[in-house]
Chain A
Amino acid sequence: MQRLFVCALTVGAALAATSAADAQTPKRGGILNFGVVAEPPNYDCHGSTTFALVHPIAPHYSLLVKFDGKDYPKVVPDLAESWTVAPDGMTYTFKIRIGVKFHDGSPLTADDIKASYDRIIDPPQGVISIRKAYYADLLVEAPNPTSVVFKLKNPMAGVLEALASPFNCIYSAKKLQENPRYPETQIMGSGAFTFVEHVKGSSWEGKRFEGYFQQGKPLLDGFKIFFVKSGAVVPGILGGQFDAEFRGRNPSERGQLLDKMKDNLTVHEGTWVNNLMLVFNTTRKPFDDIKVRQALSMAIDRWGGSEALSRISILKFVGGVMRPGYAMSLPEAELVKLPGYAKDINKSRDDARKLLEAAGLKDFKFKLLNRNIPEPYTPAGVYSIDQWRRIGVAVEHEQLETKLYQDRVANGDFDVAVEFQADFMDDPTAQFSKFLTKKTSPSGYSGHTDSKIDEMYIKQRQTMDVAERTKLVREMERYSLTQAYSVPILWWQRIIAYNKKIKGWHMTPSHYLWQDLTEVWLDQ
């Protein structure tokens, strides 16, 4: 306890020091060394879903607009200088900066933005665009070199946020015309850093782009990434090999770093747009019965688990489908009324036992399918099994490597699975994908056919009024958690710990954002 208190004090001191440092005058120069715990398969943003691509590649590319790291989820200009939205919300017109150059010296115009978005929305043969369906309602036009117009075929909420995706890199139209697949193997953007070298399996380097459109930026001379296994991050920082890792560490690693580095460490902590959830396979009996699903959700003490698990893993926050604290999420007072979220766990478990009895289940046994990744999958699986044991349900934990796990989940070959939800933003259109039917969402792994959720989903996506949309989202959240086809266990805590000399980096709830390094500097 005393140690925890000391840690908390140190974190507090570090956070205070960060605020003070932000007021300092940024210094120019130096190389930022940081670790990344995975390596991108190729360099094409449009065909990728992984942070392993974003962390090395974001510094090389510009986006049309981006999320503000200092004020998430505010969207701020990047290549777009400003924008206007038509009164009906169906047309977005962006004014593009003049004088922006690609790393090869060629000018960047509205045509490049149109070509990049056309590649995302309607990819040419041989090009993979992961988010093609997400942007299917958009039509892009470039009436002149400094204007890009996005017209909506159907009403769509959260357009700006969707356009701020870190995966929507802007490529050169001329190069795309020569070879639409050039982004897979070459880095040629207009970001703050030019590409120097990628040593496969080992490192990645970038250096300052002198022709970058933001005057005086970037502040760093360059950056170097070391691709390391997760377990090598703490030794790497302690040994001075690199100074940071920007995805997230667990509480134990934060403790190790604080113990050794004390005042030389800056720590950020907060919610993460990631959660672990239980997916009930409704195509199998008895999980087609709402009573069974609700009982299994109600047996889990999320509030107690939050306290216990947050000490040993990155699982921490109790929440529904939307991230706790996000503007559209259900307030706690409403959440606790839903099955599985009551604070009186004894009563909740009594009710769960009654529900199982009503479902005619005695000596109920099943298998929990999980990934064999220790953090945070194993604690989540072990904790859930222990909770179910308390209502007399015996569960076997089946942990498989990711490839085998995904094969089983995709084929519906499981009873209950521990699945995860992660995206670059909180928008409900992104966050609800795993709660829908398979007809609407490829990752509707629970296999339910309840079209009511799909209808609510489409309705909220098409509702542009924020207050009205919030109402719909909360209604959908209540309905999803009550039906319990899939239920969140806990949301993750994001802990970023790095050498104090790094300044100008801000933590957002997403590990995909704010990695362009334009404002990062070294106090040395």
Chain B
Amino acid sequence: MLWYVIRRLLLVIPTLAGVAVAVFFLIRVMPGDVVVVKLRADGADVSEETIRAERKRLGLDKPLYVQFSDYMVGLAHLDLGKSLWTGDSVNKEIAIRVPVSFQIAVMASIIAVLIAIPLGTVSALYRDTWIDHSVRVLAVSGLAIPSFWLGMLIILMLLMMFNWLPKIGYVSIFEDPIANLSVTIWPAVSVGYRYAAVATRMMRSALLEVMREDYIRTARAKGVWMRLIMRRHALRNALLPVVTVIGLEFAFLIGGLVVTEQVFNINGIGKLFVDATTRGDFNLIQGLVLFIATMFIFVNLIVDLLYAWLDPRIRLS
């Protein structure tokens, strides 16, 4: 197991290097110039000389291969460079936004697990009854309703019914847990619902498949209690695909809450990504892509390790 983890961790380096090279060249194919957006977006009559001076200051006048080698050397020192928009380090820009995005992703995952596993199980156990139908309606609604729309409904409901809105701005949960939760719970619920819907359907179908297996039938024929069958045999096996879905969704949520963050005015990774892309801030886009790729790689590793825990037959090493 230890060797497996070490091998996987070593593989992270070439994977990220590949991502870094691809993203460096791909984003430079995009039209648009961050300097023009920065200096002329408000309609100002900015001279070409000023534009050239700013490009020089940001190092955008250097040949592409020089920019690339500077970037790779920086990367080797874990330095993602400076944002072309703010001039601050990309590491700092990302670090400011990580806590809130990470917390919402964790909370949404908890909400999804708490909803999906019991509902998916009940739905499978009571297949084709009103309980199953109700759960399926709930799950399909979750898939059909976009998270941002649900978010807007939540905001309107809070405003209309209670004349209250969550505070703007993020406070650490360790500083003020109540203020923190009053800000983060609503986006977590709005994305957690969709996330739960995906996991519920996966849980239901996986459990239905497992319940048809010979070893379940044998256990039932032997008169083993249903509760015991579920706990010992069915649930653990059915959880394997659910864990994959939850893991991938978690990694996606770290950087993928683009619209939901806008709706709730959350200063997270998704909002930063949108801003960086619309401004053409190459350095920040590169940093964000690498960060999200890293998250996916590590979440996949954790999912693989969980597989081994859930199913001892899987020999990772």
Contacts and interface: CB of A to CB of B under 8 A. Distances in A.
B269 to A, nearest CB: 11
Contacts of B48: 442
A382 B262 CA distance: 26
A278 B42 CA distance: 17
B86 A50 contact: no
A225 to B, nearest CB: 10
Interface stretch (B107-115, B163-171, B299-307): B163-171
Interface string B30-58: 01111011111111111110110110010
A201 B50 contact: no
B32 A404 contact: yes
Contacts of B169: 199, 202-203, 226
Contacts, number: 128
A143 interface: no
Given A41-B85, A128-B54, A228-B168, A403 B42 contact: no
A201 B43 contact: no
Interface string A433-466: 1100000011100000000000000000000000
B267 A202 contact: yes
A41 B86 contact: yes
A34 B168 CA distance: 12
Interface string A410-422: 1000000001111
Contact of A402 (B37, B46, B272): B37
Contacts of A421: 43
B50 A130 contact: yes
A184 B159 contact: no
A68 interface: no
Interface string A392-417: 00000000011110111010000000
Interface string B78-99: 0000000111100001001100
B279 interface: yes
A241 B97 contact: no
Interface in B259-295: 262, 265, 267, 271-272, 278-280
Contact of B32 (A133, A407, A441): A407
Interface string A327-357: 0000000000000000000000000000000
B57 A126 contact: yes
Given A130-B44, A200-B267, A423-B43, 20 more contacts: A41-B86, A41-B87, A49-B39, A49-B42, A201-B267, A202-B170, A228-B265, A229-B262, A229-B265, A235-B155, A235-B165, A236-B265, A238-B163, A238-B165, A241-B167, A402-B37, A419-B43, A422-B42, A423-B44, A443-B46
29 contacts: A41-B85, A41-B86, A49-B39, A49-B41, A49-B46, A126-B57, A128-B39, A129-B50, A130-B50, A132-B50, A200-B88, A201-B267, A201-B272, A229-B262, A235-B159, A236-B265, A238-B159, A238-B163, A241-B167, A402-B37, A403-B34, A403-B37, A404-B31, A404-B32, A406-B37, A407-B31, A421-B43, A434-B45, A443-B45
